[in-house]
Amino acid sequence: MMHQILPILQYNIINMKHHILLLLLCTTAAVSHAYQFENVTAPPYPVITPKPKSITFDKDTLTIDPCSLQVSVTLPKKLTESVSQFISNSINTFVKVDLFPTQTCNPSPTNLTTLSITLTGETQPNDNVLPPVLQDTDESYTLTIDSVKGAVISAPQFSGVMRALGTFSQVVTGNGQGVEGKAGGSLYEVRHTPIVVTDAPRYKYRGIMLDTSRRFYSVDTITKLLDSMAVAKFNVLHWHIVDDQSFPLELKTSFPSVTFNGAWTQEQVYSQKQIWGIVGHALRLAIRIVPEFDNPGHTRAVGLDPYFREIVRCFNDVDGYTVPGAYRIEGVPHTSTLDPSYEKTYELLSGVFQEMGTLFPDSLIHLGGDEVDTTCFDENPNLKTWMTQQNIANYSELVITHLAKARTLLPEGKRAIYWSDEGSFYQRYRDGDVLMYWGSSANMKNLTELYPKLSYILAPVDYYYLDCSFGNEYGGKSWCDPMKTWWRIYSFEPSDFLPETDERVLGTEVPVWSELMNEEALFQKIWPRAAAMADKMWGPKAAVDLVGLVQRQVSFGEHLNARGIPVTHISGRWCEVIADHCFAEHIPQSIMASQ
């Protein structure tokens, strides 16, 4: 028996020695080699999204204790008390909540102890936080950071102050739990100092459109979207609040029954109190909110109210609007159209516009105006007789007449925006109106020929639509494939299609249509792709620095992740960390070919 056991023991001992030897060899190898990214250093310069117009920097590192940081705010005396108080509160809230989310005090000595903010006020309105007119907005600022004067911000308007704070938030590193792994601290760092930034955007309008009719998003989600937009220096949220699918806008003084019948559920309504809160949150970040009531098309939800059912054409026509075949499915409605021959149509528009005017202080209001299926008008057998009496020759003229009348119902001081594409080039507008062009970039040049006295916001479907390539509602392909990648979005340059110095081009916008974007997926489908547009439209036109762009996209994503906002990766882990290895030489042909 013993003779049988000994060989087994000897075998186990030999095996054990073999495993110990392998362990020692592996340990030695681990000691002599670093992990892949252990010795990879951060870029040797401040990574800021969008890239500033001008920046200088050096090699020093300063530390900040948020508890001992002295913040001073200097405002013009000409401001009304309410505006002055709002601006002061907005700045202090941003510093405490966004700039330094962890406020644990640290007794260690620091060398960046002051943050001085001056709103010089040369062009700041006395009685408004933002200028009522978009073109009067000045987002320029200067930011200096050094060990002598501390951090110093100067800007002529509140918008510039908030853009400067957005830049400052991106150069502040650390999470308040200790710098470079030192336990027990709450210090933050600013590297590459002294830093001097002189900055201003190229375009006045840099927007994101959010569709809350096809899918309802919570107030918390919308405020998080605003927070993330501010990081990328977006300045407009275009709120596509209602459409065919639902009417979640609370109407109180005009037609509450439209909301009651048109919303998905009682809970999926934006109360006016909630809207004021969202508008106020946006204003604190110097972001405008532009509401939209698309008409005369895209109004089926209005017809769910029995009182307005008679003015909605193609209410039950599932193929009422000509769309790609993959979108058509029996029993599912598409789009409907208001009947311009009914005075009740304009009672509705007047009521909605007036309530929107009280809820949204911005001078811009979006009236839609596109994708009107004029064959829907055939449902009304009396319409052509009425048109003859009104000297309206055809359905195209009927749409033009409707839009002109709807325009007169806007509250005083409001400026109209309309959707525009190849299918609406027959329409006419009032001088000074704004067209939001969503058609193909190839036809963009027609804008200046057809509408020389209007302004333009560019949202070309072949560059900017974020919902493309995720399929459609019915399991088919999306109508606007392929996906608009971060590079595709960045590659759009307005001056390739319209004159570079054309002041009629206000800016650009990325639309977020929500059929397939629930709250969990929303941010990952927006970010960081949309930031590529913000980056391009902020900075001056320049040769592409792809390595820098990738580093900014990655850094931006990490910044949002630190705030609890999920984003999508733009590349493999290796290329994100060592961007110069993947993108240093030139724009890879594989990227170009995929577009």
Domains of the chain: 54-199 (3.30.379.10), 205-294+342-374+408-542 (3.20.20.80), 543-595 (no CATH)
Q: What is the pLDDT of residues 252-276, one digit of tens each?
A: 999 999 999 999 999 999 999 999 9
Q: Is the pLDDT of residue 532 over 90?
A: yes
* HSE of 362, CA atoms in CB hemisphere, 13 A: 26
Alpha carbons 343 and 405: distance in angstroms, whole number: 11
> Measuring CA to CA, how many Å separate 593 from each of 406, 587, 588?
45, 11, 9
Nearest to 402 by CA among 241, 328, 481, 294: 294
Q: What is the pLDDT of residues 363-413, one digit of tens each?
A: 999 999 999 989 999 999 999 999 999 999 999 999 999 999 999 999 999
Residues 6+ apart with CB under 8 A from 105: 65, 67, 68, 186
Q: Determine the average pLDDT of the residues in 264-293.
A: 98
Alpha carbons 419 and 519: distance in angstroms, whole number: 26
Inter-residue contact 229 to 248 (CB < 8 Å): no
Q: What is the pLDDT of residues 37-60, one digit of tens each?
A: 666 667 888 999 999 999 999 999
Q: Which residues pair with 384 in a beta bridge?
A: none
Q: What is the pLDDT of residues 469-512, one digit of tens each?
A: 887 767 777 788 888 999 999 999 999 999 877 899 999 999 99
* Residues constituting the chain: 595
Peptide bond into 482 cis (omega under 30): yes
The pLDDT assigned to 397 comes to 98
Inter-residue contact 569 to 527 (CB < 8 Å): no
Please classify residue 201 by burial: count the beta carbons closer than 10 Å to its beta carbon, then call 0-12 exposed, 13-18 middle and 19+ buried: buried
Of residues 485 and 16, the one with the higher pLDDT is 485
Q: How far is CA 230 from the centre of its chain?
A: 8
Is there a catalytic annotation at residue 292? Answer: no
Residues 6+ apart with CB under 8 A from 158: 87, 90, 119, 124, 129, 130, 286
Task: Give counts: helices (H), strands (E), the chain.
Answer: 19, 19
Q: Is the pLDDT of residue 458 over 70?
A: yes
The pLDDT assigned to 585 comes to 60
Alpha carbons 531 and 549: distance in angstroms, whole number: 10
Q: Which two tokens stand for residue 48?
A: 């800021």
Q: Determine the average pLDDT of the residues in 98-116.
A: 83
Q: How far is CA 273 from the centre of its chain?
A: 23
The pLDDT assigned to 180 comes to 40
Supply the Cα-derived Rg of the chain in whole angstroms: 28
Inter-residue contact 160 to 185 (CB < 8 Å): no
Alpha carbons 51 and 49: distance in angstroms, whole number: 5
Quote the crossing angle between the two packed helices 272-284 and 219-231, to the nearest 10°: 10
Inter-residue contact 302 to 308 (CB < 8 Å): yes
Q: Is the pLDDT of residue 28 over 90?
A: no
Selected catalytic residue, list 292, 355, 371, 509: 371
The pLDDT assigned to 542 comes to 87
Confidence grade of residue 224 (pLDDT, cut at 50, 70, 90): very high
Helices (H), 410-567: 446-450, 461-464, 486-491, 519-526, 529-538, 546-562
CA distance between the termini of the chain: 76
In degrees, rounded to 5, the angle at the alpha carbon of residue 181 between the alpha carbons of residues 179 and 187 is 20
Alpha carbons 370 and 339: distance in angstroms, whole number: 15
